[in-house]
């Protein structure tokens, strides 16, 4: 099972939309996907699938089975909702945390990929969710503030967790070549930081995608042959290839002392960002 974080330096760049559409693309290829909704303030993954999550992490912390806390979205795609429960997750004691991790370990074989929809910004827990992932997918747009905030996020992750590998998606691109947009961003980042940015792809803001977003629908479910659909599919294929050739899997969190078996994979999400059990 591989963990993929979808992140950004600022809100409004289409992070949840990309997360859900990537999950749909992977599921269509026969992969089993779990979405972990790690956005405390705007946890809305279920809405895009037309489903309402009845339980979330808070119920898991209150002793319910993890299987009961899962929400079935579509074939091959499940959701573990975060919501306000993430606040409680930050303050539970070591015994409670290990109990949760044991339950998490029990579902490892049920999924091929876990996609973490993070909150935007530089909160410790956002940084932690990115650090435990095998692959960090960073979204940028043509908005100059998106560049600045994405740079700040990368710089902080590099300084705090020694992360040096980021996959960049240029999202909602209009009237510009996405590869050129990536090159402009990479030139700035790699001039000041010793790390590697990889171009994962571009998603253009075509009319069908814009309509789907306004309706809070997923373009990968609409059966429309749009440019954005093709681009999302290409990104999912390239992402899988990057994970398959990743040797060994990145374990940046181990640099902060979280290198035991129980802390790897999805279980690593449930350890505090400070690195203390």
The answer to whether the CB of 137 falls within 8 A of the CB of 236 is no
Determine the pLDDT at residue 259: 46
Rounded CA-CA distance 210/152 in Å is 28
Determine the pLDDT at residue 82: 78
Q: What is the pLDDT of residues 33-69, one digit of tens each?
A: 999 988 766 668 888 899 998 888 888 888 888 899 9
Helices 124-132 + 144-161 axis angle, to 10: 70
| Regions in the chain scoring below 50 on pLDDT | 248-249, 251-262, 275-277
Nearest-CA neighbor of 232 among 29, 8, 5?
Answer: 29
Determine the pLDDT at residue 229: 92
What is the CA angle 53-2-49, rounded to 5? 25
């Amino acid at each position: 099972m591989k963990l993929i974080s979808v992140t950004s330096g600022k809100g409004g760049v289409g992070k949840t939309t990309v997360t859900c559409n990537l999950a749909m693309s992977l599921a269509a290829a026969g992969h089993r996907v779990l979405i972990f909704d790690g956005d405390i303030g705007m946890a809305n993954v279920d809405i895009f699938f037309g489903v309402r999550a009845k339980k979330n992490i808070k119920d898991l912390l209150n002793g319910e089975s993890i299987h009961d806390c899962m929400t079935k979205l579509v074939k091959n795609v499940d959701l573990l909702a975060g919501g306000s429960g993430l606040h409680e997750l930050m303050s539970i004691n070591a015994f409670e945390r290990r109990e949760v991790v044991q339950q998490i370990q029990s579902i490892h074989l049920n999924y091929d990929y876990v996609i973490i929809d993070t909150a935007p910004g530089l909160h410790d827990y956002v940084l932690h969710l990115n650090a435990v992932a095998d692959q960090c997918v960073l979204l940028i747009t043509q908005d100059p503030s998106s560049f600045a905030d994405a740079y700040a996020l990368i710089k902080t992750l590099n300084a705090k967790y020694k992360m040096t590998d980021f996959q960049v998606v240029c999202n909602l691109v209009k009237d510009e070549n996405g590869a050129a947009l990536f090159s402009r961003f990479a030139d700035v980042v790699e001039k000041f930081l010793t790390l590697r940015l990889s171009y994962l792809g571009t998603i253009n803001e075509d009319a069908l995608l814009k309509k789907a977003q306004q309706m809070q629908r997923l373009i990968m479910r609409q059966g429309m042959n749009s440019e954005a659909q093709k681009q999302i599919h290409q990104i999912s294929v390239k992402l899988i290839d990057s994970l398959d050739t990743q040797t060994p899997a990145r374990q940046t969190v181990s640099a902060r002392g979280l290198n035991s078996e129980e802390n790897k994979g999805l279980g690593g999400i449930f350890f505090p960002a400070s690195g203390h059990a």
